[in-house]
């Protein structure tokens, strides 16, 4: 079976270009766009819309979407406020702590 240039090479390149563009312009939506490309591509392929190109877009977006889903389920995609609360509950009572004086600050060499 020969490689078809547009569906087999163009679709992964388009997924990469979309991912890089969204990451540089709106990084907070990168995970959502990657998931939408994977789920939308598989739904469209199931409905026989778009042919091999759309199916290959879904296949190219699936690894990143699966990793994002795994990170979300594990708890890695938390906000900064949630991380501070979790950090506070682990035993740190004063955050940020005041700077302490460096050792031997008042000593002079004679």
Across the range 32-59, mean pLDDT stands at 94
The pTM for the full model equals: 0.64
Count of beta carbons in the 10 Å neighbourhood of residue 60: 19
Please tell me which residue, 57 or 99, carries the higher pLDDT value: 57
* Nearest one of 4, 99, 23, 12 to 68, comparing CA atoms: 23
Query: 2-31: per-residue pLDDT in tens?
Result: 888 898 999 999 999 999 999 999 999 999
pLDDT at 97: 62
Q: What is the DSSP letter of 95?
A: S
Task: Decide which of 63 and 110 is more confident.
Answer: 63
Q: Are 2 and 52 within 8 A, CB to CB?
A: no
Judged by average pLDDT, the poorest of 25-34, 47-56, 87-96 is 87-96
**Is the CB of residue 35 less than 8 Å from the CB of residue 69?**
yes
Domains of the chain by residue range:
1-22+31-74
26-36 residue pLDDT tens? 999 999 999 99
């Amino acid at each position: 079976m020969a490689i078809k240039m547009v569906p087999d090479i163009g679709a992964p390149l388009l997924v990469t270009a979309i991912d890089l563009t969204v990451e540089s312009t709106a990084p907070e939506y990168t995970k959502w766009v990657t998931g939408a490309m994977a789920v939308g591509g598989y739904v469209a392929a199931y409905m026989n819309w778009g042919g091999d190109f759309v199916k290959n877009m879904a296949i190219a977006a699936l690894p990143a979407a699966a990793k994002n889903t795994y990170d979300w389920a594990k708890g890695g995609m938390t906000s900064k406020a949630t991380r501070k609360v979790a950090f506070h509950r682990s035993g740190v009572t004063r955050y940020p702590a005041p700077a302490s004086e460096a050792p031997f600050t008042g000593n002079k060499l004679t």
